[in-house]
Amino acid sequence: MFSTRNFNRSKPVLFILILFPSLLWAYQFVTGNLGVNPIEKLMDELGLMALRLIIITLMITTLSNIKPLKSIVVLRRMIGLFAFFYVCLHFSTYIVLDHFLDMKFIIQDIIKRPFITFGFISFLFLIPLASTSTNNMIKRLGFKLWKKIHYLIYPVAILASMHFYVLVRADKTEPVIYMGIIILLLLHRIFKRLTRPQLAQ
Partner 1 sequence: MKILGSEITPYKTYLNRRKFIKGSLASAMLATVTSSAFANHDSDLSIYTKNLNENDKLNSYEEITTYNNFYEFGTHKKHPHLNSGNFKPRPWTIKIDGLVKKPQTFDLEKILSNVTIEDRVYRLRCVEAWSMVIPWQGFQLSELIKMAEPLSSAKYVQFVTVFRPEEMPGQQKRTIIWPYREGLRMDEAMNPLTILATGLYGHEMPNQNGAPIRLVVPWKYGFKSIKSIVEIRFLDTQPETSWETLAPWEYGFYANVNPNVNHPRWSQGTERRIGEFKRRETLMFNGYEKEVAHLYKDLDLTKFY
C-beta closer to partner 1: residue 78 or 167: 167
Per-residue contact flags (x/-) with partner 1 for residues 58 to 77, judged by CB under 8 A? --------------------
Q: Does 99 bind partner 1 (CB under 8 A)?
A: yes
CB of 109 to partner 1, least distance (A): 6
The dihedral of CA 89, 24, 59, 74: what is its sign? negative
- Are the C-beta atoms of residues 94 and 112 closer than 8 Å to each other? no
Q: Does 98 bind partner 1 (CB under 8 A)?
A: yes
Considering only 1, 12, 13, 36, the residue that binds partner 1 (CB under 8 A) is: 36
Q: How many residues bind partner 1 (CB under 8 A)?
A: 21
Per-residue contact flags (x/-) with partner 1 for residues 148 to 167, judged by CB under 8 A? ------------------xx
Per-residue contact flags (x/-) with partner 1 for residues 114 to 143, judged by CB under 8 A? xx----------------------------
Q: Does 96 bind partner 1 (CB under 8 A)?
A: no
C-beta closer to partner 1: residue 7 or 29: 29
DSSP string, the chain: ---HHHHHHHHHHHHHHHHHHHHHHHHHHHTT-S-SSHHHHHHHHHHHHHHHHHHHHHHHHHHTTSGGGGGGGGGHHHHHHHHHHHHHHHHHIIIIIITTT-HHHHHHHHHH-HHHHHHHHHHHHHHHHHHT-SHHHHHHH-HHHHHHHHTTHHHHHHHHHHHHHHH--S--HHHHHHHHHHHHHHHHHHHHHHHSPPPP-
Kindly list the residues in this chain that would bind partner 1 in the complex (CB under 8 A).
35-37, 39-40, 98-100, 105, 108-109, 112-115, 166-171
